[in-house]
């Protein structure tokens, strides 16, 4: 591997906040009440419209710390596994998946770097083809979240984690790529030689324009299943005709067999 491509997750690879997307199944699993679901729905809407600055990210962090204290880790992972494809699959940007495939074809590893929890980010990363993830880790005691944070993958902490990953693999960050939508991820973008602003908020768009960074607009959320189906080879007309003949013959044979059985 010659290097890596580091991707933020929310509004870069998927069209919404990965954490807030699980509000409904967490409610159905008894982890949150209806008020928390409504609050997460409003937060999701606001996030899509206006993005999130440092103060809002800090408030969200403190809210989620308080909210998840006492949750059973195994139950959270089970809910994420059961609902992942229904919730997240339709939110994945087609452009992001294509870009991930291009980097992997070029011999680069793909790393998702997200402030969302590791229990959510890891399965999403696997789903979109990432090689590894960097995510927020909560403190766990006796199989439950304590409400404390072991590592918060946010701001400068993302850049620090990326340096550690690059050092472990022997990558030169000057040869690496990074993609994000938020000004709060400026340290993540500054640490690599090839930064890209994806669906940038106003502050990041201004910085990208000043520094000559490429700006990408991802607009096509598409399910991974539909991507696979679209790429599947289509049978040629002779094959389709042959299949129709075989199917028709099989149907006639079954009707003849059934008639003989009834007569017997």
The residue to which tokens 């040629």 are assigned: 236
Q: For 146, phi and psi rounded to 5 degrees?
A: -85, -20
Decide if 221 contacts 92 (C-beta within 8 A). Answer: yes
The verdict on whether 10 is a catalytic residue reads yes
How is residue 100 written in tokens? Answer: 């991930």
Sign, CA torsion 9/134/46/208: negative
Pairing outcome for strands 144-151 and 132-141: antiparallel
Enumerate residues 6+ apart whose C-beta is below 8 A from 195: 177, 178, 189, 208, 213
The verdict on whether 62 is a catalytic residue reads no
The crossing angle, in degrees rounded to 10, of helices 118-128 and 94-105 is 70
Decide if 108 contacts 6 (C-beta within 8 A). Answer: no
Measured CA to CA, the distance from residue 43 to residue 23 in angstroms comes to 11
Q: Which of 8, 181, 185, 201 is catalytic?
A: 8
How many DSSP H helices and E strands does the chain contain? Answer: 11, 7
Q: What angle do CA 146, 152, 156 make, to 5 degrees?
A: 160
Decide if 114 contacts 18 (C-beta within 8 A). Answer: yes
Check residue 136 and report its DSSP letter.
Answer: E
Measured CA to CA, the distance from residue 157 to residue 185 in angstroms comes to 10
Q: Which of 10, 89, 131, 181 is catalytic?
A: 10
Catalytic residues: 8, 10
């Amino acid at each position: 591997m010659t290097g890596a491509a580091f991707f933020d997750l929310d509004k870069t690879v998927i069209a919404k906040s990965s954490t807030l997307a699980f509000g409904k199944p967490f409610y159905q699993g008894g982890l949150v009440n209806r008020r928390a679901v409504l609050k997460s729905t409003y937060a999701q809407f606001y996030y899509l419209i206006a993005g999130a600055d440092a103060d809002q990210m800090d408030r969200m962090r403190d809210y989620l710390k308080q909210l998840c204290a006492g949750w059973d880790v195994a139950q959270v992972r089970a809910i994420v596994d059961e609902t992942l494809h229904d919730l997240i699959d339709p939110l994945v940007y087609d452009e992001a998946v294509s870009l991930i495939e291009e980097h992997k074809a070029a011999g680069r590893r793909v790393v998702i770097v997200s402030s969302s929890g590791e229990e959510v980010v890891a399965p999403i990363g696997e789903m979109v083809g990432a090689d590894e993830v960097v995510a927020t880790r909560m403190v766990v005691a006796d199989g439950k979240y304590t409400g404390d944070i072991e590592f918060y993958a946010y701001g400068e902490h993302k850049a620090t984690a990326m340096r550690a990953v690059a050092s472990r693999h022997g990558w030169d960050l000057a040869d690496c790529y990074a993609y994000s939508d938020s000004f709060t991820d400026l340290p993540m973008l500054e640490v690599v030689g090839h930064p890209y602003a994806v669906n940038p908020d106003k502050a990041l768009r201004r910085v990208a324009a000043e520094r000559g960074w490429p700006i990408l607009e991802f607009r096509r959320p598409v399910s991974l299943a539909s991507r696979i189906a679209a790429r599947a080879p289509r049978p040629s007309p002779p094959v389709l005709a042959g299949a129709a003949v075989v199917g028709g013959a099989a149907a006639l044979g079954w009707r003849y067999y059934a008639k003989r059985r009834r007569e017997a």
